[in-house]
A = this chain, B = another copy of it.
Amino acid sequence: MIIELAKNYGFCFGVKRAIKKAEQIKNAASIGPLIHNNEEISRLQNDFNVKTIQSINDLSDEKKAIIRTHGITKQDLALLKKRDIEIYDATCPFVTKPQQLCEKMSAEGYEIVIFGDENHPEVKGVKSYVSTKAYVILDEKELYNIKLPSKIAVVSQTTKKVENFMKIVNYLILKCKEVRVFNTICDATFKNQEAILELSQKSDVMVVVGGKNSANTKQLFLIAKQHCKDSYLIETQEELKAEWFKDKKHCGVSAGASTPDWIIKKVLERLEEFNRENS
């Protein structure tokens, strides 16, 4: 049986980079969890003494602070800089970009529409760089009763859908003379989806690794299932069953965006074992 990993799977570029940084830095406090995966958080704590704190107020005698992929607010960064602490910035470059754009555009006098969840840490961070007026919205309808300025800039939370971003832009085009659109949506999630689509079309069995409550993992599983009826969603290699792979020729493997590589590796190892047992 051929075992093939999807072209894109698991952690996005920014998360991979942040975890690698955390492993190198060691003995540090991450401001907010580095990743939405408890096993990975425990591993970083146990193997690298990287602990997770909820906010900069929770800092006590730590010598090193890690800023996670979502970034932090400009105000928190300023407070952090005043402390006697080394700062390691693992803000995803795709998040730094809208932060910088908000700072630059407001310096040029633009008010800014941010398409995103008001309470999401990434959005809080991005919004904190706006020195004019920021409108954080999830739907263009939220702008209906607002008197908009003649020129406006628009950015997006990195994980949002471009179709909804377009709806907001289209509304603004009707209302403002100039709309400066920065498409800051990251296509990592979309790339995982594209890759599993392609892989599931040539596989006769599919394994998707990820949290059973993870929205993006479930989405991957749904896509796989559409093209390969024998698709399975698992959280660890222990759930794999030999019978699933009996008489199968091509096994595709993918993983949700919060699934660490070492979990995927164990899954692949177990699949190789099945191959050996069957030969």
Query: B-contacting residues of A (Cβ < 8 Å)?
Result: 162, 165-166, 169-170, 173-174, 176-183
Inter-chain contact A166/B162, CB cutoff 8 Å: no
Inter-chain contact A170/B166, CB cutoff 8 Å: yes
Inter-chain contact B183/A180, CB cutoff 8 Å: no
| A179 to B, closest residue via Cβ | B181
Which chain B residues border A182 with CB–CB below 8 Å? Answer: 177-178
Which chain B residues border A176 with CB–CB below 8 Å? Answer: 183
Q: Smallest distance from the beta carbon of A104 to chain B beta carbons, Å?
A: 11
The answer for the CA separation of A183 and B166 in the assembled complex, in Å, is: 15
The answer for the CA separation of A183 and B174 in the assembled complex, in Å, is: 8
Q: Smallest distance from the beta carbon of A164 to chain B beta carbons, Å?
A: 12
The answer for the CA separation of A177 and B277 in the assembled complex, in Å, is: 51
6 residue pairs of the A-B complex, CB under 8 angstroms, read: A162-B173, A162-B174, A166-B170, A169-B173, A173-B183, A179-B183
Q: Smallest distance from the beta carbon of A194 to chain B beta carbons, Å?
A: 14
Q: Smallest distance from the beta carbon of A221 to chain B beta carbons, Å?
A: 26
Inter-chain contact B162/A181, CB cutoff 8 Å: no
Q: Copies per complex?
A: 2
Which chain B residues border A165 with CB–CB below 8 Å? Answer: 173
Which chain B residues border A169 with CB–CB below 8 Å? Answer: 169-170, 173, 181
Q: Smallest distance from the beta carbon of A224 to chain B beta carbons, Å?
A: 25
Which chain B residues border A173 with CB–CB below 8 Å? Answer: 162, 165-166, 169, 181, 183
Among A179, A181, A183, max chain B CB count under 10 A is at A181
The answer for the CA separation of A178 and B100 in the assembled complex, in Å, is: 14
10 further interface pairs, Cβ-Cβ under 8 Å (given A173-B183, A174-B183, A179-B180): A162-B173, A165-B173, A166-B173, A169-B170, A169-B173, A169-B181, A179-B181, A179-B183, A180-B180, A180-B181
Which chain B residues border A181 with CB–CB below 8 Å? Answer: 169, 173, 178-181
Q: Smallest distance from the beta carbon of A246 to chain B beta carbons, Å?
A: 43
The answer for the CA separation of A166 and B180 in the assembled complex, in Å, is: 14
Which chain B residues border A170 with CB–CB below 8 Å? Answer: 166, 169-170
Inter-chain contact B183/A177, CB cutoff 8 Å: yes
Which chain B residues border A178 with CB–CB below 8 Å? Answer: 180-183
Which chain B residues border A162 with CB–CB below 8 Å? Answer: 173-174
| A170 to B, closest residue via Cβ | B166
| A163 to B, closest residue via Cβ | B170
